[in-house]
Chain A
Amino acid sequence: MAYIKINQDNIKDKNKAIKICPFSAIEEKNGLINITSGCKMCKICVKQMPDIYSFIEGKQSKINKDDWKGITVYVDHVEGDIHPVTYELIGKAKEMAKKINHPVYCLFSGNNIKHKAEEILKYGVDEVFVYDNEELEDFRIEPYTAVFEDFINNVQPTIILVGGTTVGRSLAPRVAARFKTGLTADCTILDVRENTDLDQIRPAFGGNIMAHIHTPNHRPQFATVRYKIFDAPEKLQKINGKITECKIDVEKLKSNIEVLEIKKKEKVKSIEEAEVIVVAGNGIKKETDLKMIHQLADKLGGMVATTRPLIEAGWTEAKDQIGLSGRTVKPKLIITCGVSGSIQFVAGMNSSDVIFAINNDPKAQIFDVANYGIVGDLYEVIPELLKKM
């Protein structure tokens, strides 16, 4: 079994050896230093105190990585309307596939969707696998998982990318668990190694830290990625790829779920579509002060978005939250007002074209990502700005 070995003899300062763990998972018991079940295997202790802590690899079932070929993108769609995150993932898949000389595949399942597969090929996919069945009319977890399973068994792709949409976040874990393989949620950086191992990077441990994660002994490797993290490729003039229709035994598409009704929500423009965004952060003192943020957004023809604390205060709505647990945006212009720039927030907006940040704390982290950092009191800067516009 893999574990962290403790060399008790090398411990000179017990307290220091205990304090090294940021998760308080190291304790002293009967005079000995112990690692408790709170351990998150961040390996900080191994890195910082190698003479005391060492990581012992467990024995791992070695898979034959050559048996797994191709990078697959799951086509996220509602009744054939393909979600643009799909194209962004195809862009990333192509970039990685080139490195390891693998094909790019798409898995497209639904009802009456065949004719839409052509559109996907325009983005330079090598092969689209289509499952077109009545039973796949609405998204229900069991039939969609069954199709995914069938596809993986037949095609054996090494990497599978799924959009971090409502459907993707429900389906990907289900399929990953069926294959007892790893899944990394909300990756912000992806790359592939020569041996086809996927390098996955995401903010982690609920803090201002990036974690570099890999799946060295399992295939396929699963990752979900949010909308607007990567760029969609240009459409091709000439199509090279092909469409493969797949058959699946309808017995496998049985479900315990019945879809009774689908209600259209009133379509409100979402912040993801906005070209200009003004963000209200915790530097806003009262709810009524949001008026000035709205005025600024109106003058710029943009929308107002917000950080999490304001939603928790009940001043703004969850759908307007930017960040890891909110929306990812990529506008032409974003102005943050009284936002500290925590990694969870920044992960949702740092690929915006131009970032302005107003904050009165010169050390605020938001200035690390801003193109224009305005060190000042938003209650002075914004009224003046409104006057001059």
Chain B
Amino acid sequence: MSAPDSAIRQTLANANLQLAIYSNTGRLKNHRSKAVAPDRFPEYQDLRTRAAAIKRHTLAFLDVYLLQLEHAVNDNGGKVIWASTGEEAADFIIQLAKDREANLIVKSKSMTTEEIHLNDRLAQHELETVETDLGEYILQLAGQRPFHILAPAIHMTRHDVAKVFNEKLGIEHDTVIENQAMTARRVLREKFLNAGIGITGANFLLADSGGVVIVENEGNARLTLSAPKIHVTVAGLEKLIPRARDLPVFLDLLGRSATGQPLTSYTSIVSGPRRNGELDGPEEFYVILLDAGRTKLLADPEMRESLQCIRCGACLNACPVYRKIGGHNYPWVYSGPIGKVITPQFQGVEKDPWLPFASSLCGACAEVCPVKIDIPSLLLKLRKEIVQANPEDRRYFRIWAWLMQRPGMYALAAKIGRALMGFNIGPLAAWRSERDLPAAPPKSFRDLWKQRKK
């Protein structure tokens, strides 16, 4: 499959959308750079190094930490469910919902559940799953996928939201943002109090204490994991860190990198059902540990680095490509620079071979990454894999090599090339549609060389 050119062209031609993407990512980008400036946050670079080291270590001994986590969750009265695929994860929840007769499920924002299309799978079994993060809720009503891993509805205006609420909720057309947020509060509060199951993702899993850490600003995750009788966390294997005491390093980086906040409004650390005497909180607690391709990444010592990602979204806001084409032109749920690195690995490099090439390798993503993932190097590695597997590219290089060894033929080919430079034909046409070639000088280097020798 080639790049979705026409969709990208549409995004580029949509002035409102361009403005929304550019200004919103710009604002997040500025908040971040102020928050990590050396005068405000002198520990920043040291913490990045430490965070990367902790993640590297955890991944290198992941088998041990997974078992530690399972042990701790059991001790707390919860249960770990191991899921090799998204289907297995969904099947567990479907069975649980049937057993407990829970038809209404509330969910807080989770990219991992987006990745496995959990809502669709649950809907096929007549289970109503309601997204409760304001942005996710709007997207669910509008039938769209997240545009940005952190700020999912970054591309929509108050007018878009008014239209969606009017059409889907039957309320009056209202473009006042405060009123829109309060509408969501009212509608979703009802859902929280009646839901049988709450599903959350996890920002971190603490191996030592079995804690699931969830970072948010709205309070919808707190409600999701406190109000229903059952709390299910769906988390990728890579979310582990060894100890609760490693948390400050990551929390100090995550909030600042994501929105510029030293600490988000709410950080929940939960594990297990309510303890003896506790008056609320869930009665059952499950942590679904999801593989779904992660062990494949783990097996490649270089690409493993991409599992360090803490999903802060800073690389999206820094990326000159993302800031033009937005999130929906990427082929999978993960967009931006980190999406370019992990999508080919999860989906197979052959599925969207253009993806790792859609980058100028400027390095802005690596510079802002709080866990020091060297995204440009990983993109280069993916490119190499793709080129080596692609017979067409190899043919071009073989022709080139053949010409280079035959000066007469090379001179002839160069002449033909010069003559063709004025025309838009063949593979040049696509390239030239977006770029200007400088006009060829009147005489070639070879001609000039010959003249001088005379």
Query: Do A and B actually bind?
Result: no
Residues of A within 8 A of B (CB): none
